[in-house]
Structure 1
Amino acid sequence: MALIFWALFYMAVMVAAFAVMGPSLISFVTATEQLEQSGVAPTLEDFAPIFQMLGLIVLVLLPLSLVSGTMIYAAVARAVLRPAESAFGYLRLGMDEVRVLVVTIVLCIVFTGLSALVFGGIGMVAGYATAADMPAVWIAVVLLVLAAIALFIWLAVRLCLAIPITMAERRIAIFDSFAVTKGRFWPLLGMALLAGVMSIVVSLLGSLVAMPIQLATGGLNGLEALEGESLQVILQAAWPAIAAWVAINAVMSALQVAVVYAPFSAAYRDIKGGDSSEATPA
């Protein structure tokens, strides 16, 4: 039942996103394809309208994505950690979601800032190797890249329980995950890899199911001919393909979040021992 609620939730989000940005998305895809098929090397002026459309799309869809993502991630954690709160597929919009949103944004800032710092430094070393014509330095660059990848994998695993802890203890717990994951890096990494493999399997199976449906409805390729039309005209001309795409992606998204995110909440529950729903609100 939770999966059904999550799929319906994703459908509602996708419908809302398409209702707001559908024509702009079609124009963006069409402009990009026309630029690729022009056969002429594009200039910055050619990219300007595409960047403008992309900026508008991101400006509208990013807040919607953050809010909907926060609600669904919190719902998955709630389903594992507080199973008694099962009404409406564990979906809520309250302080739990606010805390999860804060943790998500902070972690994104941390990883983005650290990525810029680390890979910016590696880029400087690579630039020096090129300017100085010292091939041997490229060995150091390769080793630095591998070390950076290892660092980010380690950091991601050590912080992977931040949202489950935040949900279980009803407080913002960004770096508490370090203490909980201490000495458990390899089991958690193995669990994450297994979840990733299962996610790929779900995606492949979903593609096999979706293919005949998309063929029967004509897919979304025909939307290019509707560029510049109003949303009403687009829906009248292509509603079967759009409805099929929304339904398929909603179901797939619900399955993906269950496969990918639930194991981390289950890991936190098992590490702490017993039902963490008794945690005292802070």
Structure 2
Amino acid sequence: MKLDIEFAFEGFRILRKRPWAVAAWGVVFLLANLIGFGSFVPLALPALIQLFNSSGSAPDPAVIASLIAGLILPYIVLFIVMILAGAVVSCAVFRAALTDEKPGFGYLRLGGDEFRLILVHIIFSLMFVGFYLVCAIVGGILTFAFSQIDEDLAGLGVGLTILLGLGVMIWLMVRLSLFSVQSFDEKRINLFGSWKLTKGKAWTLFGGYLLAGILAVVVETIVMTVVWFVMAIVMFANMGAWQSIGNSATPDLTAILWVVGPMLAGYIAVFSLVAWPIMTAILVGAPAAAYRALSDRHPNTVEKIF
């Protein structure tokens, strides 16, 4: 079936058609960040304060060990929460792109589709770990072969491996890019279905994904510019507090957090509610729209973006 480069703009179609769904995705990301980053306060902050207050002397190994131990659980909590949030929102984007059903609360659910998507991502990650190992072996062979010709050519083997590996990796990612959305749509793990659908469409898909990535970066840059501008104003307004902290011989970490905390919270809130849901709609919506166009399971009756 014909694939138009317009699939790269699917995220904006969703944003225009279902703005409240995108807003709901922002709420999910905000809650995930509150839970994930919130776990750092009771679990890691005491060790951080102790380490900071002892920065003038030699670091205590026991304190460092306590800090590392205190960070393990928060990172695990953050990882699990963000994986779940990403799967929930990604499946919601798939539903928005593939169906005309009522969105409810942003097409959000937590069930078999979401856990299947997590499994798909695990499989995808393991595949590329295997690919990396193959590249490492090939790189070692090429480096050894070139070094036998001339020791100065050993670096050429490394360079060729990096270039070839990067090219093959991008090609594989494009060919397997519909793995997630197809497994979601068919409600089963379909590892090689994407390979069939993307046959002869690799360059169009690559161009569309590149365009979608650029659009996502533009969104992130705009939001980041606004956020940093506001943060600069807040920092200027709190100049007195910063000066008192800087003039202190032993700065108090609690005082620093009291000044930095609200800015960090605002940064996370804006990115969670605005940047991340829009970027997810763009980056996840693009392969969903490409799948919709290339598969025969969903008639391409969606209106044009432009």
Note whether the superposition's TM-score is higher than 0.5.
yes
Offset, 1:273: 4.6
1:136 and 2:158 correspond: no
Q: In the alignment, does 2:184 pair up with 1:162?
A: no
Other structure's SS at 1:88 match: coil
Q: Quick check: which has more Rg, 1 or 2?
A: 2
Which one-letter code corresponds to 2:268 in the other structure? V
1:107 maps to what in 2? Answer: 124
Q: 1:31 to 1:64 in 2, by over 3 A?
A: farther
Among 241, 256, 267, the residue aligned to 2:279: 256
Q: Deviations over 1:151-202 (max 9, x none)?
A: 1101100110011111222222222111111111100000111011111111
Partners of 1:191 and 1:263 within 8 A in 2: yes
Equivalent position amino acid for 1:256 in 2: M
**Cα distance 1:213–1:58, how it changes in 2: closer, same or farther (>3 A)?**
same
1:176 has 2:193 as partner: yes
Q: 1:84 and 1:163, CA in 2 relative to 1: closer, same or farther beyond 3 A? A: same
Amino acid at match of 2:171: W
Please report how far the alpha carbon of residue 124 of structure 1 lies from its aligned counterpart in structure 2 after TM superposition. 6.2
Structure 1: distance between partners of 2:45 and 2:146:
44
Cα contact 1:78–1:85 (8 A) shared by 2: no
* 1:280 corresponds to: none
Aligned ranges 1:29-178 → 2 under 5 Å: 52=69, 55-123=72-140, 125-126=142-143, 134-178=151-195
Read off the aligned partner of 1:209 and give its amino acid letter.
V
Equivalent residue in structure 2 for 1:15, among 34, 56, 73: 34
Q: How does 1:185-200 map to 2 (within 5 A)?
A: 185-200=202-217
Unmatched 5+ residue regions in structure 1?
A: 278-282
Aligned-residue Cα RMSD (Å) equals: 3.9
- How many residues in Structure 1 have an aligned counterpart in Structure 2? 265
Q: How many Å separate the matches in 2 of 1:78 and 1:151?
A: 31
Segments of structure 2 that go 5 or more residues without pairing to the other structure are: 1-19, 237-241, 243-250, 301-306
Amino acid corresponding to residue 90 of structure 1 in structure 2: Y
Whether the 8 Å contact between 2:146 and 2:157 is mirrored in structure 1 is: no
Q: Are positions 1:246 and 2:261 aligned together?
A: no
CA distance in 2, matches of 1:2, 1:50: 39
Question: CA shift at 1:7, angstroms?
Answer: 0.8
Preserved contact between residue 195 and residue 263 of structure 1 (Cα < 8 Å): yes
CA contact (8 A) 2:91 2:114 kept: yes
Alignment-mate amino acid for residue 268 of structure 1: Y
- What is the DSSP-based 3-state SS (H/G/I as helix, E as strand, rest coil) of the residue aligned with 1:189? helix
User: In the aligned structure 1, how far is the partner of 2:87 from the partner of 2:62?
Assistant: 37
Aligned counterparts of 1:218 and 1:241: Cα–Cα separation in 2: 9
Moved more, 2-11 or 128-137: 128-137
Deviates more, 1:3-12 or 1:109-118: 109-118
